[in-house]
Amino acid sequence: MFKDVTFGQYYPSDSVVHRMDPRFKLVIAFAFIIVLFMINSFAGYITAGLFVFVCVAAAKVPVKLLFKNIKPLWFILLFMFVINVFFTRSGNVLFSFWILKITDEGLIKAVLMLIRIVMLIFFTGLLTLTTTPISLTVGIESLLSPLKKIKFPAHELAMMMTIALRFIPTLMEETDKIMKAQMARGASFDTGNLYQKAKSMIPLLITLFVSAFRRADELALAMTARCYNGGEGRTRMNPLKVSGVDYAGAVMTVLFIAAMIMFNYVHVI
């Protein structure tokens, strides 16, 4: 049933990008997204494309997986493309029909917009493909920790995320098991009308709730038994370590951003 659903989309591999500190990856991804929306020259697009290409190549993830992220968004992409094509009125008219006019400027704008969005999806996809959900959480906690001074519950938030992530596969497995057990007793989840299907879910949901509460209870007990009392003074088993690849990535990103800013003022092409 759920056997083919892998949660998150981490792609295990041993590349420099996989080995990077999650904080650096988060900050770089954030910076890239901002820069991406400031591009206003062809040189800028080419450089950004090159940057994405270098990152993807360094991460050693199959490009197929990156394209997979685009699939569910094709309708939105198409919609944005059409809007850009038809609602740009400036430039030379290439084609006109009734009240619709397609101009060269509109077409270029639409294509560039598409490229921008695709690069955005690629880059954020790269982040989740090369970083496990848990280390992303650790990274977010660490980046948010300065906010603890203003009583922002960074640790609690991260702990909740970690536990939720930890239990998603467990609950999926449990759902699978219970569905199988009920199917073995003659239940069917995929036949009948909508009402019958909804009704057949009730036994499943009851059982799942009971077990989720039981697990939560056991986990709370186990954590208390091991002296958990919040984030105060808690150390990490695998502390985040900044290494050479992180500095290299940071330097590359700074150079990239500098180039992008330069292209915005000095028009090369």
Partner 1 sequence: MSIKVENLSYVYMQGTPFETVAVDNVSFEINQGEFVAVIGHTGSGKSTLIQQLNGLLIPTSGRVEVDGYEISTSKKDLKEIRSKVGLVFQYPEYQLFEETVAKDVAFGPKNQGVSEEETNIRVKEAITDMGLDYDEVAEMSPFELSGGQKRRVAIAGVLAMNPDIIVFDEPTAGLDPRGRELLFECIEEVRKKGKTIILVSHSMDDVARLADRILVMSEGKLIFQGTPAEVFSEQNVKLELNAPQLALLARKLNKTGKFNIPNGVFDVEGMKNVILKELGGKN
Q: Which residues bind partner 1 (CB under 8 A)?
A: 3-4, 6, 11-12, 174, 177-178, 180-188, 191, 203, 206-207, 210-211
What is the nearest approach in angstroms of partner 1 to the Cβ of residue 11? 7
What is the nearest approach in angstroms of partner 1 to the Cβ of residue 208? 9
Placement of tokens 């186990």 in the chain: 222
What is the nearest approach in angstroms of partner 1 to the Cβ of residue 30? 28
What is the nearest approach in angstroms of partner 1 to the Cβ of residue 133? 15
What is the nearest approach in angstroms of partner 1 to the Cβ of residue 130? 13
Residue pair 86/153 in contact (Cβ under 8 Å)? The answer is no
**DSSP assignment of the chain:** --TT--SS-------HHHHS-HHHHHHHHHHHHHHHTT--SHHHHHHHHHHHHHHHHHHT--HHHHHHHHGGGHHHHHHHHHHHHHH---S-EEEEETTEEEEHHHHHHHHHHHHHHHHHHHHHHHHHHHS-HHHHHHHHHHHHGGGGGGT--HHHHHHHHHHHHHHHHHHHHHHHHHHHHHHHTT--SSSS-HHHHHHHHHHHHHHHHHHHHHHHHHHHHHHHHTT---STT---SS-----HHHHHHHHHHHHHHHHHHHHHHS---
- Residue closer to partner 1 by CB (options 213, 247) is 213
- Residue closer to partner 1 by CB (options 166, 177) is 177
- Residue closer to partner 1 by CB (options 162, 207) is 207
- Residue closer to partner 1 by CB (options 41, 175) is 175
- Residue closer to partner 1 by CB (options 201, 254) is 201
What is the nearest approach in angstroms of partner 1 to the Cβ of residue 207? 5
- Residue closer to partner 1 by CB (options 12, 239) is 12
